[in-house]
Amino acid sequence: MTEGKISKSLIFFAVPIFLGNLFQQLYNVVDSLVVGNVLGKEALAAVSSTGSLIFLIVGFINGIFVGAGVTIARYYGANNKEKLSLAVHTTIAFGFIAGIIVTLLGVGFSPLLLKLMGTPSDVYAGAVTYLRIYFLGGIGIVMYNACMGIFQAIGDSKHPLYYLIVAAITNIILDILFVAVLDFGVGGAAIATIISQFLSAILGFVKLTRVDGDYKVNIRQIRINIDMLIQLLKMGLPTGVQNSVIAFANVIVQSNINAFGSIAMAGSGAYTKLEGFGFLPITSFSVALTTFIGQNIGAKKFDRVKKGARFGVIAGVTLAEIIGILIWIFAPSLIRFFNSQPEVIAQGVLRARVICLFYFLLAFSHCLSGILRGAGKTNIPMIVMLLSWCLLRISYITIMVKVIPDIRVVYWAYPLTWSVSSLAFYIYYKKSKHIFEEVI
């Protein structure tokens, strides 16, 4: 990504990420489609309500791999073969350890966290079952993200796409088999997901052991290098904390939605699956910008860095808003795919029409965050997200729901806090004229 036309480099890298994320999003969407139509609204609410808790635990670990990716991209751009190999093998070793930790935390604390969220009794048992089975696949989940982070850091977004296509197709087949045919309930949807995740992780890991490049994984060299691990954690921990505080805020949001009952949970949960598709261009260009910035800073091509940052933000914001408008228009028909009950559809449409026209703000925040991460300024996104997407969001909901007990008050927390974070990122970015040169 250090040579050639900037727009072409970013688009060709972002498109496979977009398509890969599209197939990854199909994991949860297919779960919800099958569960909602076969098992009913309570089961749909159980599966849908687990998303924020999953991201709370998994998001922290995966944030660290984002930092690892920045470090790997720097060494790759600078053609530092020794450090590149050391970073890759330390990342893989840390992934195995982190996978075990995620499994233990997820299986052990899921019931407690669901109770703290005020999960209704008619949903609680199904949610516990789904979460505990899901987290039994913790190693597969984490190792997939570790391997894909390495591929993306060196500019290869195509292989992650191939593996996600295989995993998504597997997930669809197994969902239908376990839930609709064998009647395994919500647990069947979780089993289908973790089998698919393990499959994609194995495919990615095997490929890394067979590539012809300096980032090739040699099984005998997989070990933790303390100095490199410290470097990876220094870069990745702020992003991990950022993911966790966002997830924690969303847990609070979900607990407030839970207070409005299972119909609100099912409708809101159906919308979040659609929202995942709206976030795809945002995530794609954010990841592409992080890799692009990291590699070009490593190669000391600062003018290329600035031009790439400008193009990535414009592209990400534009695509996100187009998708937001489409969801706003077609929300009733799209929500109906998950559950045909009029009350559930009405709740999903209500949330969609409050939030989705503001996707451009979310895209702007994420793209600026990706740029700053690539430039090594990982503390800035963490601080902005902590203040706006966590503290402000929680404070707003805690106060306003008591004053106006309307579920729309909860939904408005998102566009309001996206606005604040966008303004904060814009001010910092404009005032930091030498942000890219300072990291060298």
Taking only the tens place, the pLDDT of each residue in 105-151 is 888 888 888 887 777 777 788 888 888 898 898 899 899 889 988 98
Q: What share of the chain is helix, strand, coil (3-state, %, to 5)?
A: 85, 0, 15
The predicted pLDDT at position 357 comes to 93
% of the chain with per-residue pLDDT over 70: 96
SS3 301: coil
- Rounded-to-integer distance, Cα 206 and Cα 216, Å: 10
Residue predicted with more confidence, 368 or 47: 368
Residue 281 pLDDT grade (very low, low, confident, very high; cuts 50, 70, 90): confident
Residue predicted with more confidence, 58 or 187: 187
Q: State yes or no: pLDDT of 405 exceeds 80.
A: yes
Q: State yes or no: pLDDT of 330 exceeds 60.
A: yes
SS3 80: coil
Q: If we measure between CA atoms, which residue out of 223, 259, 197 comes closest to residue 62?
A: 197
The predicted pLDDT at position 1 comes to 67
The predicted pLDDT at position 100 comes to 92
User: Tens digit of pLDDT for each residue in 334-388?
Assistant: 888 877 888 889 999 999 999 999 999 999 999 998 888 888 787 888 899 889 9
The predicted pLDDT at position 94 comes to 92
The predicted pLDDT at position 435 comes to 56
pLDDT, mean of residues 208-219: 89
Residue 328 pLDDT grade (very low, low, confident, very high; cuts 50, 70, 90): very high
Q: If we measure between CA atoms, which residue out of 326, 236, 229, 338 comes closest to residue 281?
A: 326
Residue predicted with more confidence, 45 or 229: 229
The predicted pLDDT at position 439 comes to 44
The predicted pLDDT at position 28 comes to 64
- Rounded-to-integer distance, Cα 72 and Cα 213, Å: 13
The predicted pLDDT at position 34 comes to 80
Torsion sign, CA atoms 316, 319, 322, 328 = negative
What are the extents of the domains in the chain?
A: 6-439
Q: Quick check: 119 and 50 in contact, CB under 8 A?
A: no
Contacts of residue 327, Cβ cutoff 8 Å, sequence gap at least 6: 274, 275, 277, 278, 334, 352, 356
The predicted pLDDT at position 440 comes to 39
Half-sphere exposure of 415 (CA within 13 A, CB side): 16
